[in-house]
Chain A
Amino acid sequence: MPDLLAVENLRQIFGGRNRTYAVDDVSFRIPAEPRIVSLVGESGSGKSTIARIILGLLRPTAGTVLYDGVDIFRPDRSWNRRFRSEVQAVFQDPYSVYNPVYKAERVLKLVIRKFGLAKTKAEARERMEAALRAVDLQPDEVLDRHPHQLSGGQRQRLMLARVYLMRPRLIVADEPVSMIDAGMRASFLNILGDFRDNHGISTLFITHDLSTAMYLGGEIIVLYQGRIMETGATHSVMSAPMHPYAQLLIDSIPTPDPRRRWEEDLSSAPLSEIGGATVASAPNRDHCLFADRCPQVMEKCWAARPVLRAPAARAADAAHRDVACYLYD
């Protein structure tokens, strides 16, 4: 069976004079079996650009995206229709995608009609209620309401109910929980887990919040300035990151436990080394992009870009891991 999604050597360069390398040779895959893959990285690292390309909203400068073995930018119309129903987007602020004059019921009915999901009114109603229940919403509490009468968390779950109706194989979710509160966040993430375990739906989950990625489990891809620095099983990467950037990133998560405070004090570390600008427009990129901030930088790090690959010394039973760093050659 082909992979559900295979992203190969993706590259996206924006702009004329000030070229921005938003995505710089990114490859990864999501297998046919249901998975949750998190794409993490700081602001501007290229996460949303990758999402837009995968959704077919942006044609990349170079590289291919295969969905179920087919290049998403070169298929025919009937395939397109299938792709649009099987791959669904969930964005940060669901408010903006709803027509404010439509009630929740209308939002869901439109989908049912558009994709011919029910033959009778009773069947449509049944489907809607099942979808709402799948995302922990009470049908009678939300169906008769306009989007602005729902809370952020409810709107976001209504969005998931809409997605659920279509029974996609893949959800591409770009920062879906960053606007909702901690309490509500957990229940949203639990739904994605249920989708995977009970409905065979995979999710590509984009976030800058590592604790959310950790909670989701699955696999993780750590991006930095448009390149993948490290990838592997989320729990294994999170508990023992190998790439110096992944280490700094994971070490900086504000753990909600005062007994486990940050050990190293970065308050006087020079900004050119840590936390500096991440504008991905440096003209020369033929080196490790983290070299100017890396505490372990070596001469060769400036000479050529490190390849993303399995580290040389790994226990045979260790979970799969790829790292783009000369420390592991």
Chain B
Amino acid sequence: MPALLEIRGLSAGLQGRRAITQVISQIDLDVQAGEILGVVGESGCGKSTLATAIMRLLVPPQVLQSGSIRLRLAAGETVDLLAISESELRALRWRHLSYIPQGSMNSLNPVLRVGRQMMDTLIQHGLTSGEARARAIEALELVNLERKLLDSYPHELSGGMRQRVIIAAAVSMRPALIVADELTTALDVVTQRQILQELAAIRDELGATILLITHDMGVVAQIADRVAVMYAGKIAELGSVHGIFEAPRHPYSQGLIGSIPRASGQRVEGLPGEAPSPWNYPAGCRFHPRCPKVFDLCREHAPELMRQDSGRWAACHLYDDEVAAHA
């Protein structure tokens, strides 16, 4: 099956006075139809930059540097989100792909009723007021909210309810792809769990595809089908959720999973050092200063994301057969 979304060579950065500082570098990623793909990594590794670049919503000083993002629409037909015009893109947003930005539950307009806000967007996309209302109610039900909430103001709702309103709005046009950035980060665990389970139910019901961006390893372990581990603006490893958690291959994934405080209270050591910011990404493999398995080649040459067996991809010289053959 061809992927629903095919990201190739995507790079984006920050425009400085003299030069562009690259934040995400040469991202290659396929998102399969119907899956929940979790993108995890420490804060600052470029997850939100990736999400906004996919949505073509980078704002200065952020700049797109290169790449293509092909979205499959209907049988065979694809568009490059980065190549089409602004108006063509506008026609795709909400209907084909929608975006739930980080912190969006605090972005509702405080002086407008929830129903008004949801319906306005739908009306802008060509629905009549009656259709918009019906769609809004249907969407609220998908996230467990009663229709009477349409008449509420945002401040009357708990954080979990506001986040649900945002999700409802995002799915109201039944998009094929939903990109959600730190969807449940600000919520307590019970609400988080319920919202994630609602999201999975929406995926089943609408046949949607979800790109779930989070720093929380627990969230991806619970809900994702596949996982992309990001480090310093690149994908370090990609694979099934079971593969990544049970047998991580990239030394960074290994360290990240090993440093999760365990229920057993067993002492774990954090990863040594800290993640570099875009202004000081190291040469060669960006993980090399912290890598327990570093060798000479790592300091000079950046490993590419390469296919391993069984749907696993890793960007590490340890798994490069050619390097192994010469070693």
Contact = CB atoms under 8 A, between A and B. Distances in A.
Nearest to A211: B261
B255 A183 contact: yes
A256 B191 contact: no
B270 A186 contact: yes
Interface in B108-167: 144-145, 157-161
B144 A181 contact: no
B89 interface: no
Contacts of A212: 261
A212 B242 CA distance: 23
Given A189-B261, A262-B193, A257 B245 contact: yes
B221 A257 contact: yes
Contact of A253 (B197, B218, B246): B218
A185 B241 CA distance: 23
A102 interface: no
A43 B197 contact: no
A249 interface: yes
Given A181-B275, A215-B261, A275 B160 contact: yes
Nearest to A212: B261
A151 interface: yes
Interface string A11-55: 000000000000000000000000000000011000000000000
Nearest to B260: A256
Interface string B241-270: 110011000000001110111110101111
A212 B219 CA distance: 15
Nearest to B290: A183
Interface in B177-193: 186-193
Contact of A214 (B217, B261, B270, B274): B261
B75 to A, nearest CB: 31
Contacts of A181: 42-43, 215, 274-275
Contacts of A215: 261-263, 265, 268
Given A266-B194, A275-B190, A185 B261 contact: yes
Interface string A277-309: 111000000000000000000000000000000
Interface string B94-109: 0000000000000000
- Where chain A touches its partner, the secondary structure class is loop
B274 A153 contact: yes
A212 B68 CA distance: 41
B190 A42 contact: yes
B198 interface: yes
Contacts of A190: 267, 269
Given A267-B194, A277-B157, A256 B201 contact: no
B218 A254 contact: yes
Nearest to B261: A215
Given A184-B274, A214-B265, A261-B222, A252 B259 contact: no
A248 interface: yes
A210 B261 CA distance: 10
Interface string A49-87: 000000000000000000000000000000000000000
A278 B191 CA distance: 11
A235 B186 CA distance: 26
B144 A254 contact: no
B193 A254 contact: yes
Given A254-B222, A255-B221, A271-B161, A266 B197 contact: yes
A252 B261 CA distance: 16
B20 interface: no
A217 B264 CA distance: 9
Nearest to B257: A256
A35 B58 CA distance: 48
28 contacts: A42-B188, A43-B159, A43-B187, A181-B275, A182-B42, A182-B217, A182-B256, A184-B270, A186-B259, A187-B269, A193-B267, A208-B189, A214-B263, A215-B265, A217-B265, A248-B190, A252-B193, A255-B263, A256-B257, A257-B245, A258-B222, A267-B194, A267-B197, A267-B201, A269-B144, A271-B160, A275-B191, A276-B161
4 closest Cβ pairs, A-B complex: A254-B218, A42-B188, A215-B261, A183-B271
